[in-house]
Amino acid sequence: MRDITGSTANECAVKIAQKYTESTDIVSLFLSHHGQTQFATGISGNAFRRKGFPNSTAPNHLHVPAPYCYRCHYKASYPGCGFQCVEAIADHIEYGSSGSVACMIVEPILGNGGNIVPPPGYFQQLRKLCNEYGMVLIADEVQTGIGRTGYMFASELFDIQPDIITLAKGLGGIGVPIAAVLMKSRLNVLKKHEHSFTSGSNLISLAAAQSTLDVVAQPEFLNDVKLKGEILGSLLNELPSKHKCIGDVRGVGLMWGIEIVDQDGAPDVHKANEIIETAFSDQRLILRDSRYGYGNVVKVRPALVATDDEIAEIVERLDAVLQKVG
């Protein structure tokens, strides 16, 4: 199904799940980001984004802790944690939902939330839980899809086995607006009047998507992203020994984040924003913050066509910024 943005694609996916299951409630993760519309803001896991917009909060939105191993909600340690972050979802459903749960929507890597990469086995446990409760599992691949992790879909990398995948952003190549919803055939339940948009079949967008897929689908292209991701990860992992403000480095492919902390290991939001501002002003280096500047993770995401030398230069410039900020 063709859409315009990640927000509308995720809304479409939820509509499909609700109609198919004849249930209402939506489960999503703390720190998640599923779009900018009121609906997408409502199912996203950042309360500050709903401030001042009462219509973006509804009783059928159920938020649960994210698989954030570096700052585990349950103060547990992987792999001996027993996946408490998954086990507890059953309690949230039992005591916090209406008893009519349609779906769970999850980003393979929580991008805006802080480049949070779930531990091995997490998605397999989540799949079992969804099967147990009859929930549709939606993988929001708006940020992770179309080669960003070195795979066409991060669902392949993590073996998520979702029922629905949503796409946008990279699908348009250079930013041409287009989104899509991929689903198992049994979920093709919406009638045309239940989800449609004026520009939903824009021919320019479709041409851009086709051209992008023609390139990214080539095995050598994806393999190159994997190799460049290993280079980027290796270089970024050298930084914590030089800069005490880095608490964690995590990522896959060309989607990485460095967690900025203070001397006590607590999130240092101010310094993270200072790093991003200094990177642009001093080094002409464009980095992204987490949680719209409310988070403490600096996101490093080179273009998929960046060269090895360009990746090395990115880290060199970042190193110089960290040295200056201290």
DSSP conformation letters of 251-277: EETTEEEEEEB-TTS-B-HHHHHHHHH
Q: What is the pLDDT of residue 2?
A: 65
Residue 239 has pLDDT above 80, yes or no: yes
What is the architecture, at CATH level 2, of domain 219-325?
Alpha-Beta Complex (3.90)
- CATH 3.90.1150.10 residue ranges of the chain are 219-325
Mean pLDDT of 146-172: 97
Q: What is the pLDDT of residue 65?
A: 97
- CATH 3.40.640.10 residue ranges of the chain are 2-216
What is the residue-averaged pLDDT of the chain? 95
Residue 200 has pLDDT above 90, yes or no: no
Other CB atoms within a 10 A radius of the CB of residue 207 amount to 13
Single pTM value for the model: 0.96
Q: Would you place residue 52 in the very low, low, confident or very high pLDDT band (cuts 50, 70, 90)? A: confident
- Record the tokens describing residue 223, joined without a space: 């393999």
- CATH fold of 2-216, please? Aspartate Aminotransferase; domain 2 (3.40.640)
Kindly give the interhelix angle for 269-283 and 308-325, rounded to the nearest 10 degrees: 120
Residue 163 has pLDDT above 90, yes or no: yes
Residue 182 has pLDDT above 80, yes or no: yes
Residue 1 has pLDDT above 70, yes or no: no
